[in-house]
Structure 1
């Protein structure tokens, strides 16, 4: 029954337990395909001879790759530099730390301030709907967003949230978008049944202590600290249930780079996917590569964060389009994407195959 006294239909369509937390079991290391189609068929890195085995560069000038150094889930990016994977693929790459929101990062790619970048699907889909000249070439991993409830406020499951206040660091954040989707899958209205309130990420815990919010939705590494707070419970995250094999972060390539130097875009995508699989194979090495960007966290803690993600999820081709179409449908359900948008056509328009 809702707050107006009306009976609410049961719509628990999300195939995850009400409380879903903790590290995902790690499966066997993914194979590294040696075929041109391996990138599509198996989600593995392409090691095709025309690019990987060339000594000469496939781009005359260094490519500028944008990322957000505050996101531990992108640990494969610094690992790629440590392993010289860009050079292996015939590229010189300049890493640009973009401290703004990831939709601004997408705009930087579209306007030529960067050649490519890595960012979050649930931040990028809306501006891509509006026509940014950027194509998605691959997914990089799943996981990194978490929803915590305050035990003192009686918030231990998704169904405890009606009438409560959820704190976020950004009212257009991927975390707000994702957990709004989760609420709808439990038959709740994210715009009416809960209130969303914005605080700086490092003050969300204090807002809980003051009783100003009753739950926190945010991303690693900052939200990770609440896993150790006995006053909080991790309600769910974005590697639970049907989202366990869904990518949350993407590779975006500038449209003009694809038109002017498709081989460079292909090599960059392959290098990033190879780095992602290297990270999955050795999470400690990935954590150590990222550690200089998160000096407040020991390597062991960064590794634990990475272990709770899904770093073996690197969809491309049809699987990438399928996952982005699912996200588009879900974002339509929470009024982020226009309901008139054809999800399948949209996913096809914003992606590119680089096999």
Structure 2
């Protein structure tokens, strides 16, 4: 009798364990096997991502990636929907979306530069102050070029807030901006590279302010690496590998701008003339820095509040801290 009871108990325990096993969650994907989904737009300043792939920096980190080209203006939508898990972003363009809950963490600054305000050589516009009362063409009302233009104009004492607007911003597509200037629809342009540098050369324009060469902007990081919140929390090793690879690629570009530009064109990451593209890359500082991006974010967030592009009720310091993640095995600066 006792033997029968023992057999029954063993059977019951076996059934319970089997049922419990059926309800278990699948084993988590190991970081070595994880394939990180990266989104990109194909711009010249995304060179760190291009070189991380072409020069094997991702591979050296043991990181597997799946790279998807995104339509213009869809990067935030893609990462929110989980279609992408990492990317390359302009810091100024990230501030307001992050305040609204964009689910990403910035992991490192990658380089400076990108944005310009341009005017015709014969326009009589020689300074930011000369833009008072003028019309400025921009690609959108929340793009990096308009953010940079507003910051620079405010620093020069030109009103760009809702209560004191001394310039008029008019939206045209990036391809139509040069024609709008040529036809007199606007008096100046706010654009980012490579279209800004190409337009400046083709239409013989002067630079009123350039974030790559004019202080204090030339020392402030414009572009950064980021990962989705879920990657930072659930796969920190993957996030760290991605960040280190992007940093190493950026530092490599600093020493090899001509080869970088040639690879970008030859591998069809970007269009254009490699020699001209290299001349633009050489105006940027490709010395990646975590703290550099952190500091630039704080400066930009406070300025955006001053010009009305970020709600005054947002705690800028708290937003700055919340928007970044630092990993112990990711260096602050790579040269």
TM-score range, shorter chain: 0.7 to 0.9
Q: 3-state SS of the aligned residue for 1:228?
A: helix
Asked if the contact 2:38–2:87 (Cα under 8 Å) also holds between the matched residues in 1, the reply is yes
Q: 2:15 aligned with 1:78, yes or no?
A: no
Report the CA distance between 1:231 and its aligned residue.
4.4
Aligned to 2:325: 352
Q: 3-state SS of the aligned residue for 1:328?
A: helix
Asked if the contact 1:59–1:261 (Cα under 8 Å) also holds between the matched residues in 2, the reply is no
Report the CA distance between 1:106 and its aligned residue.
2.6
Asked if the contact 1:146–1:219 (Cα under 8 Å) also holds between the matched residues in 2, the reply is yes
Asked if the contact 1:142–1:310 (Cα under 8 Å) also holds between the matched residues in 2, the reply is yes
Aligned to 2:315: 342
Asked if the contact 2:34–2:238 (Cα under 8 Å) also holds between the matched residues in 1, the reply is no
Aligned to 2:270: 294
Aligned to 1:117: 87
Q: 2:133 aligned with 1:163, yes or no?
A: yes
Report the CA distance between 1:265 and its aligned residue.
0.6
Correspondence 1:185-196 to 2 at 5 A: 185-191=155-161, 192-196=165-169
Report the CA distance between 1:180 and its aligned residue.
0.4
Asked if the contact 1:58–1:90 (Cα under 8 Å) also holds between the matched residues in 2, the reply is no
Correspondence 1:27-46 to 2 at 5 A: none
TM-score by length of 1: 0.79
Gaps of 5+ in 1: 1-56
Cα distance between partner residues in 1 of 2:317 and 2:292? 12
Aligned to 1:179: 149
Q: Which of 285, 290, 313 in structure 2 is aligned with 1:310?
A: 285
Report the CA distance between 1:107 and its aligned residue.
3.3
Aligned to 1:211: 184
Aligned to 1:35: none
Cα distance between partner residues in 1 of 2:48 and 2:232? 23
Aligned to 2:256: 282
Cα distance between partner residues in 2 of 1:231 and 1:260? 51
Q: Which of 170, 183, 203 in structure 2 is aligned with 1:197?
A: 170
The structure with more radius of gyration: 2
Aligned to 2:11: none
The root-mean-square deviation of aligned C-alpha atoms, in Å, is: 1.6
Q: 3-state SS of the aligned residue for 1:293?
A: coil
Aligned to 1:90: 62
Report the CA distance between 1:319 and its aligned residue.
4.0
Cα distance between partner residues in 1 of 2:64 and 2:318? 34
Report the CA distance between 1:322 and its aligned residue.
2.2
Gaps of 5+ in 2: 1-29, 329-335
Aligned to 1:248: 222
- Give the 3 Å change call, closer, same or farther, for CA 224–354 of structure 1 in structure 2: same
Report the CA distance between 1:199 and its aligned residue.
1.1
- Give the 3 Å change call, closer, same or farther, for CA 231–117 of structure 1 in structure 2: closer
Per-residue displacement from partner, 1:261-317 (whole Å, max 9, x unpaired)? 11011011000000000111100121122212333x2110110110112222x221x
Per-residue displacement from partner, 1:82-136 (whole Å, max 9, x unpaired)? 11110100111111111221xx313322331111111111111111001122111
- Give the 3 Å change call, closer, same or farther, for CA 319–79 of structure 1 in structure 2: closer
- Give the 3 Å change call, closer, same or farther, for CA 134–90 of structure 1 in structure 2: same
Cα distance between partner residues in 2 of 1:180 and 1:195? 11
Q: 3-state SS of the aligned residue for 1:354?
A: coil
Aligned to 2:31: 58
Aligned to 1:222: 195
Q: 3-state SS of the aligned residue for 1:352?
A: coil
Asked if the contact 2:50–2:269 (Cα under 8 Å) also holds between the matched residues in 1, the reply is no
Cα distance between partner residues in 2 of 1:266 and 1:171? 33
Asked if the contact 2:221–2:292 (Cα under 8 Å) also holds between the matched residues in 1, the reply is no
Per-residue displacement from partner, 1:159-178 (whole Å, max 9, x unpaired)? 11011110111121110011
